[in-house]
Amino acid sequence: MGVRDYFSEADLAAVREATRKAEGGTSGELVCVVVERSDAYEGAHWRAATLGAMAGALLSAYGLWATEAWTPYLFVWPAALPLLGVAAGWLLAAAVPALQRELAGAEAMRRRVHGRAAAAFVSEEVFRTRGRTGVLIFLSLFERRVEILCDEGIRRAVPAGAWSEISSRLAAGMGEGRAGAALAEAVAACGRLLAEAGVAAAPDDVNELTDGLRMLDDE
């Protein structure tokens, strides 16, 4: 499932229009970026494989203890069951996103998403505004996490903690399967916050960064 599968044409239009309106009364330039995931989290697969191997070993030990009849295949199971457990654990982590998130760990996902957002801030040139008033709204779908990164012109006007409620609501909307609508709402909220903070538009203000949602993984 690609990034585009999460957003309908109506969602894309709503985000674009919300961005246009939010930027209308301020000098802030909002850039929305979405990726499917910020990391492969191979460590989560290995943890699942290890747990599967342990479960297989326990079953194997129980089988040896419980089997009374000696057969030529009796000693195959101590090796076979742990190996099957490794394969089952790895495949299960790949097939069940919730399990992979749990095994990856919240802190690891936070670091990966923040790093990917910082890279996107540079690659998408959010810093290329006259007043350094770029704001990146970054969504990582697998992790269901949001990062809002601001250029120095916005950081001087808006306290860093002011964005947390917007991020939390957007992340919750992603978890509910309404990423497009939640993003449009978040963009509107960002526009209100910028206006309240006095980030006013200059008389000669122009739209410096494109308004559409940028889907990096589908390029």
Residues of the chain with CATH 3.10.310.50: 3-39+105-218
3-class SS at 34? Answer: strand
> What is the average pLDDT value for the chain, to the nearest integer?
88
Name the residue with higher pLDDT: 54 or 121.
121
Q: What span, in angstroms and rounded, lies between the C-alpha atoms of 211 and 29?
A: 9
Confidence at residue 76, expressed as pLDDT on a 0 to 100 scale: 65
Q: Give yes or no for a contact between 51 and 89, defined as CB atoms under 8 angstroms apart.
A: yes
Q: Between residues 213 and 90, which one has the greater pLDDT?
A: 213
Q: Above 90 in pLDDT, residue 65?
A: no
Does residue 141 surpass a pLDDT of 50? Answer: yes
Average pLDDT on 61-84 reads 66
**CB burial string 113-136: b at 16+ within 10 A, e below:** bbebbeebbeebebbebebbbbbb
Asked if the model's pLDDT at residue 56 lies above 90, the reply is no
Instruction: From the options 3.40.50.300, 1.10.10.2840, 3.30.300.30, 3.10.310.50, give the CATH code of 3-39+105-218.
Output: 3.10.310.50
Residues 6 or more apart from 193 whose CB is under 8 A from it? 158, 162, 163, 166
Residue 80 CA to residue 57 CA, distance in Å, equals 9
Which has the closest alpha carbon to 8: 126, 123, 178, 175?
A: 178
Q: What is the pTM for the complete model shown? A: 0.86
